[in-house]
Every structure is written in C-alpha cells, then in structure tokens.
Structure 1
Amino acid sequence: MKRILKILKWTLVFILCLGVVLTAITYFYMRQEKFGALPEGKRLELVKNSPHYKGGKFRNLVEKPIISDGYSMWSEGWKTLFEEFPRREPVDVLPSVKTNLKTIPADSNVLVWFGHSSFFLQVDGVKILVDPVFSGNASPLPGSVKAYKGSDIYTADDMPEIDYMLLSHDHYDHLDYETVKALKSKVKYVVCGLGAGAHYERWGYRTQQIIEKDWYEKVEVKTGFTIFTESTHHDSGRGFKGAQSLWLSFYIQSPYMNIYYSGDGGYDSRFQSIAQKYPQIDWAVMECGQYNKAWQSVHELPEEVVQATVELKAKNMLPVHHSKFTLGQHPWDEPLIKITSLSQSKPYRLATPMIGEKVLLDNTTQIFKQWWNNVK
C-alpha cells in the first residue's frame, strides 16, 4: 500500500511540474511580438466608449453562439485537426499569373487577388491593400497552416507604395505579422477596427499612420473618394483574450465605382441595410470558403453568399477566402464549384480570377476561366 501511495505521490508531483513547465512555455511563447498587443491607455478608452463594446468585449449586433446547435467546439476542433476529409488541399501546384503591380498605369481601375482574402485594389489612382498575408502561414504555430503550392507567389517586395492598408479583423489568416512588418515603409495609412491599432503600434507603425474606426464611420481619402467602415458578424483575437478589437467590412466609394468588401462573417440582415445605404455597388468582394455548418454563424455557406450578393444588388461579385489555406473541412475547390453553380442566372456577374490575374474593374466583358478544373 505504501508503495502505491508513493507512486501516486510522485505521479502527482510529475503532473504538477509538467503543468508548471507547460504554463511557463506557453506564457513566454505568447509574449513574442507576432501575437500583437491588447489596447491600453487612450486606445482602450476609445474601445470602451464604443456602443458595440459591452461587458469587456466587442459584441455582434445580434448575439449568436459561434458553434451551431448540435455541435461542440471541442469535437469540431478535433475533426479539423485530426480527422481525414477528402481533398482538403490540392496536390497540384495552383495555376497563377504574376502581374507586376508596380507598372500598372495610374489611370487603370484594377483588382489583383493573392489567394484567401488578400487583394490589391487600384481605383481612381488610389492604391489599397486588403488583409495581406504573404508569409505562407496562417497560424501562430510555424508550418501548421501552410499556403498551397503555387498560391504564395507574391511577397511584400512585390507591392508598390500603398495609400491605404485595410484590415477586416486581426485573425492570423488576415493580419500577418511578417507581412505587416515588411510593408511598414510602403504604407501611408492603415484603416482598422477600434483596438486593432495596438498590433500595428507594437510592430513599429507610427500613431499618425493608424486610423482606427468603429462601425458606421468613414475615412475621407480625397474629393469624391471615401472609405466607409461597416459591420459584419464575426469575432477577433490573437491570444487567450478575444474580441478586444473590432471586426469590419468596408464600402469604398470613388468617383468611378463603388466596391464592397464583406470581411469575414456569417449571414444576417446587414446586407439589406447596406444596400439601402449604398444603392450602387459595382463590385462585391465576398467571403466564400472555410465554412462549415458548425460555425455557420461566423462564416457564410455558399448559398448564403449568393443570397447576400443578391440583397446587396451588386453588379459583380468576386469570391475570396479560399484557395490558399485549409481552415475548414470541405474540399479545397468546393467554394469555387458551388459558387459557380449557384450563381447561374443570378443578377450579378461572377468573377473567378486566378491568383495574380488582373481583374479589369471597368471591363464588363472580361472572361474568367474555371481554372480549378483539372487541378488535383
């Protein structure tokens, strides 16, 4: 009996020591600069003054559980990490086009998509870079969520001087530490949600470069050119404490055309409200990928993307949030296959460019190939 108690005692001591060691490792690992920073001081006061910050965190307009009824966070996390799902990433190298962004004429209105939700936009001579991720990784753990072969052809060095970097939210697949650090000298201004400026400031950006906004605010770029910050239904966070910075969608109003970027977020009635506020949407760049019935509240299913685009009354729609990282359980090309099928006979035109392909925003007859066909 004494021997058994002794074994139990030392087993308990070992478990406690292991717990202390793991806690210490986690603590020091998460103090790395790449995890960003939480808002404090004047920035925190602005956060607390927001009508959308309640009970110590930002809230969606309509509160919903992140995980749908009948599912659990633990079981879905286990499935995503350890269960096998068919064709979650391509075997082949994805086809792409390497457009030289630095030589695009200033009078050209173009969009170049870099895979997932990263894209370059030039309208009326204004250069905008959205949610850039060029490190080849979408996780704080190196090599854990790697870019598909052929999807990571652009680097920060390929970017021209950027007038505005737009950040929809601070998750790792949208806010990339290595990319943002490398772009610091090229970016004039960053537009992000309240609280998110703390990340940029920790990473060396000047206070004057950072424009933090709440929902329903705007940034005057120049005469006739305005960037409006709108709501979405999502979340934020880069550590254990979430929802300390606000998630956004954007409406870009220029003298030539108007563009809406959905950011990440589940379907709700906001698209009807946005259409009422902005009745002329020429292009809608819509999240479409890394979805699952389990987290439908924060990521739209393809049929909901179609419904939202119709409600926006957008003339053209470009789906993003796919073809670079595996974050969901569906086949890597399912978002493209489904959105192409569901968009037939809809009142908008669907654009499905290859990574790096120049989208001519003024050209209503440009044809896009179904480039994912025959890619294994």
Structure 2
Amino acid sequence: MKILKKTMIYLLITIAALAAATYFILNQKKFGKAPSGARLERILKSPHYKNGRFDNLNPTPQLAEDTSMPEVMFRFLFGKADRKTPKKAFHFEKTDLKNLLPNQNVFVWMGHSSYFMQIDGKKLLVDPVLSGYASPFSFTTNAFPGSDLYKPEDIPELDYLIITHDHWDHLDYETVLKLFPKTKKIITGLGTGEHLEYWGCNPENLIELDWSESSDLGNGFKVTAEPARHFSGRGFKRDQAIWASFVFETPNQRIYIGGDSGYDTHFKKTGEKYGSFDLAILENGQYNKDWRYIHFLPGENIKAMKELNAKRMIPVHSSKFSLAVHPWDEPLRKITEMNTENLRIITPKIGENLDWMDDVRIYEKWWEKYD
C-alpha cells in the first residue's frame, strides 16, 4: 500500500507539473489572444462563423476519412522519410530590398510562404517568418541552412503587410514586432488582428477583412479577402480567426495571394468573379494524403491556377521548413513535371529579384544542385 500511495503521489505531482508547464507555455505572449470586445461582436455576426468557430465553405475534415490521428502521428514520428532536408547548405544571392528602383515591379521569394513585392510603386510583404524557425520554440522546425537570407532589418518601409492566417509558419511573433514601426497598414483576416493588437500594433493601422469584404486603399489600389480551405489557431483552440486568400488590385495588376488552402470549388468561383489574374501565388509543398482537404496535393495547384484564369503562377510553401514527410525538393520537381501544358509557372531561387511580367525569361531547376 505504501508503494502504491507513493506512486500515486508521484503521478499526481507529475500531472500537476505538466499542467503548470502547459499553462505557462500557452500564456506566453507569442501564443496570441482570443478575440474579444467589438472584434468578437463582429465575428459573431459573420456568416462564416458557426457553432463557436469559423468554418470552410464545404465540409473539411482535419484528417482524411481513411486515416486517424494515431496513424498520422506514428507515420510522422516513425515513418520512413527520405531526403526531408537538402544534402548541403543553400547558396543564394540576396536582393537589396532597400535600394530598388521605385518604378520597378519586383517579386522576391524568401522561402516557404514569405515574399516581398513591389507593385506599381507600392511595397508589400506577405506572411514573413524571418526568425529562423516556424514554431513556438526556437529549437524546432528550423530553416534549412542557407534559406534564411532575410531578417526584419533587411525589410524597407512597407505600405502593406499581409498576413493570410495565424499559423506559426505564416505569422511570426518575433518578425512582426520588428515590422510594426515600418509598416503603414497591416491587412489580415477577421480575428487575427487580436493577436496583432495584443502584441502592440496600432489598431488604426489594421485592415481586418471577412471573406468577400474589400478595402479601398486609394489611388486605384484595392484588397479583397476571399475564401481558402484551411484552418487557424496558435494553441489548442482552433478557428477563432478566419484564414483567407487575398486579391490585391493595383491600377495595372490583379494578384491572387493564395495563403494556405486545400483544393475546393472556391478557385473556380473566384476566377469567374474576377475574370483573370496577372499572377497567382499558390502553395506547393508540406502536403500529405492525410491532409488532402487543407493542403494541395501535387497537381492541384495547377488545376487551381487554370480555374483562377491566372496568366502566371509562382509556387511557394516549400524549400525552407520541413513540415511534412515528403522529400524537400519533391514539390518543385513534381510541379515542373506535371506542367504538361507549358503554363507559365515561375520557380525562382530564394532571394532572387524577378519581374513576373517577363514571360521570356527561363528559370533554372536550381533545386537539382542540392539533390
């Protein structure tokens, strides 16, 4: 009985310690804050907020019906995963973002879903994760060696910072804190602004949009939030902020900023709504058949590009962090192999200065050098 009693005491102490540690971790500021006040009132009126959470347009299981969480975790932790990281460090050239010609249209990919654009004189940055890791903890999900070229100090004064959703690989606490002072307007989905205000962002600088809501930015610039098929959340409670794609319109361009999304009917509907896009930036990587509803499987981004009537596509969401068990270069290999119709799919190196309107330029298969 004494041994059993001691065992129970140790077990209770362990459980209490774990509970205290979890509470301490989840209450760190970087985990953000649940919507409240006027923002919560606005969320409760959203047609996309049902039963205490935001929802997708069509039923979207977190896991495919033919799998289970224990199976997924077993495969992730113990399954064979060849070539999840490059064999050697990347060596890329870094574009100086602070000394661009003011009338130059520029796209610079920073790896994964982070990219800088200069369009018709406006500077914008999308989903910057520039801390070197994409998780709550600096010792996990680290950037591939040589992929983390840019730091917040390299970013010029921004007209717009766009955050598509609040996942750790898209909204980085350390990065945005340093970008607040140099950003005129932050554009994001409804609910995510609670995190940003909690972290010190001036609410007057926030543009928070529900799906199909627009903001006139003046001088011929406009942004509209459109659906995506995904989810949100930085802790245990999910879907308290909406995930979105964004249509960014300028006097001369219409750009589709895809964020994270599984394939669904919204691509065709968005294409029909806007007619065409000069450029679509779509996810390409970190997929798994178990997650097929919330991330593209290979080839589905090509299908989405066609349904959006996009003249060009830049695939992102790869080549910086390993968040799935496929080989690190598989997304780029597959999208080039599956482009049998010779669509204009642009595959730049990280840090490369590109003009997406130049339809003559040929991009090398740079990933083959690191195989």
Equivalent position of 2:97 in the other structure: 101
Q: Deviations over 1:71-126 (max 9, x none)?
A: 11232133223434000111211232200011111111111100000000111111
Equivalent residue, structure 1, for 2:179: 183
* Partner of residue 123 from structure 1, selected from 114, 119, 124: 119
Contact 2:60 2:294 in 1 (8 A): no
SS at match of 2:287: coil
Aligned to 1:345: 341
Hey, what's the Cα distance between the residues in 2 that align with 1:95 and 1:335?
20
- Amino acid of the structure 1 residue aligned with 2:88: D
- The residue that corresponds to 1:224 in the other structure is 220
In structure 1, C-alpha distance between the alignment counterparts of 2:142 and 2:78, rounded to whole Å: 16
Is 1:159 the counterpart of 2:155? The answer is yes
2:358 aligns to what?
363
Match of 1:295 among 263, 282, 291: 291
For 1:358, the aligned partner's letter is: N
- Tell me if the contact between 2:277 and 2:309 (Cα under 8 Å) persists in the aligned partners: yes
Q: Does 1:169 align with 2:165?
A: yes
| 2: CA distance, partners of 1:329 / 1:202 | 34
- Structure 1 ranges of 4+ moved more than 6 A: none
State the match for 2:320 in structure 1.
324
- For 1:286, the equivalent position in structure 2 comes to 282
1:43 has 2:39 as partner: yes
Residues 23-74 of structure 1: CA deviation (Å, up to 9, x unaligned): 0011012111111111111111111111111111100011221100221123
Contact 1:112 1:357 in 2 (8 A): yes
CA shift, 1:344, in A, is 2.9
Q: Which amino acid aligns with 1:38?
A: A
Q: Is the 8 A contact 1:95 1:371 kept in 2?
A: no
Separation of aligned partners in 2, 1:212 and 1:340 = 36
AA of the residue aligned to 2:368 = N
What secondary structure sits across from 1:192 in the alignment? strand
In the superposition, the TM-score normalised over structure 1's length comes to 0.96
Secondary structure, aligned partner of 2:6:
helix
Tell me the amino acid that sits aligned with residue 353 of structure 2. K
Aligned partners of 2:209 and 2:224 also within 8 Å: no
Q: In 2, distance between residues paired with 1:275 and 1:99?
A: 32
Any residues of structure 2 matched to 1:54-69 within 5 Å, and which? Answer: 54-69=50-65
For residues 182 and 199 of structure 1, do their structure 2 counterparts lie closer, same or farther at Cα, with a shift above 3 Å needed? same
**Ranges in structure 2 where 5+ consecutive residues have no aligned partner:** none
Secondary structure of 1:122's counterpart equals strand
Q: Partner letter of residue 303 of structure 2?
A: Q
**Comparing 90-99 with 109-118, which one deviates more in the overlay?**
90-99
C-alpha distance in structure 1 between counterparts of 2:313 and 2:167, whole Å: 24
How many Å separate the matches in 1 of 2:251 and 2:96? 25
Q: CA deviation at 1:280?
A: 2.2
8 Å Cα contact 1:194-1:246 kept in structure 2: yes
Task: Name the structure 2 match of 1:10.
Answer: 6
1:244 is matched with 240
Pick the aligned partner of 1:200 from 192, 196, 200.
196
SS of 2:92's partner is: coil
Q: Share of identical aligned residues, percent?
A: 46
Which sections of structure 1, spanning at least 5 residues, go unmatched? none
Tell whether 2:349 aligns with 1:354: yes
Q: Distance in 1 between matches of 2:369 and 2:95?
A: 23
Amino acid at match of 2:356: L
**2:368 pairs with 1:373:** yes
Distance, in Å, in 1 between the alignment partners of 2:316 and 2:255 is 14
1:209-263, Cα deviation, whole Å (9 max, x unpaired): 1111100011212232211110001000001111000001011111222110111
Deviation at 1:203, TM superposition (A): 1.0
Residue 262 of structure 2 corresponds to 266
The answer for the alignment partner of 1:89 in structure 2 is 85
Give the letter for the 1:182 counterpart: K
Structure 1 position 20 matched with structure 2 position 23: no
Conservation of the 8 A alpha-carbon contact between 2:124 and 2:159: yes
| Residue 361 of structure 1: how far off its partner (Å) | 2.5
CA distance in 1, matches of 2:310, 2:77: 36
Contact 2:347–2:363 at 8 Å: present in 1 too?
yes
Is the aligned partner of 1:275 residue 2:271?
yes
One-letter code aligned to 1:372:
W
Q: TM-score by structure 2 length?
A: 0.98
Letter in 1 for 2:347: T
Deviates more, 1:252-261 or 1:119-128: 252-261
Supply the RMSD in Å over aligned alpha carbons. 1.1
